[in-house]
A = this chain, B = another copy of it.
Amino acid sequence: MVKYRTKQRRILLSYLSSHPDQALTARQIAEELAGEGISLSAVYRNLAEMEAAEEIKRLSQCGVREALYQYIATPDCRGSLHLSCKKCGKTLHMDPGEAVEILRRVAQTDQFSIDVGETVLYGICGSCKGLRQRRPAAASFQPVGPEDRKGKK
């Protein structure tokens, strides 16, 4: 459990809370905050604490090996299903009414209780779709760095 309010904790929380809709890897966060003075292990450790405290959500995308972390201690996360855009990496919150309706319908039709906290719907968001399938829109923050993926031989 958290006892002290360290500099690193403050830096990390500040950074995450100012990027509430971005799904980021621990590495990305650490690099981004490298100048501020926080190590990768501190990032991991604090991320774990924050996850336990439900301030952030840890999600894993299909072909991505690294875990993605995202700030969720915002009001619009309440009972809302998350929509993660595979192009821009941003996470949107499904319309609350819509989410409730879906949960209800699935529970009824398929006899299945969706765990809202663990479920993320992947796809393409409106903005990215509007920009055509091929332009990643000035890739402001791609969750992965697929430039040279594993250097295949």
Contacts and interface: CB of A to CB of B under 8 A. Distances in A.
Contacts of A122: 114-115, 118-119
A77 to B, nearest CB: 15
Contacts of A120: 119
A41 interface: no
Contacts of A123: 112-115, 118-119
How many copies of this chain does one complex carry? Answer: 2
Interface of A: 58-63, 83, 85-86, 92, 94-95, 98, 101-102, 105-106, 109-115, 118-126, 129
Contact of A62 (B58, B112, B125): B58
Main DSSP-derived SS at the A contact region: mixed
A58, A63, A83, A110 pick with most chain B CB within 10 angstroms: A110
A100 to B, nearest CB: 12
Contacts of A61: 60, 118
Contacts of A110: 83, 92, 94-95, 98, 126
Contacts of A125: 111-112
Contacts of A111: 125-126, 129
A112 B92 contact: yes
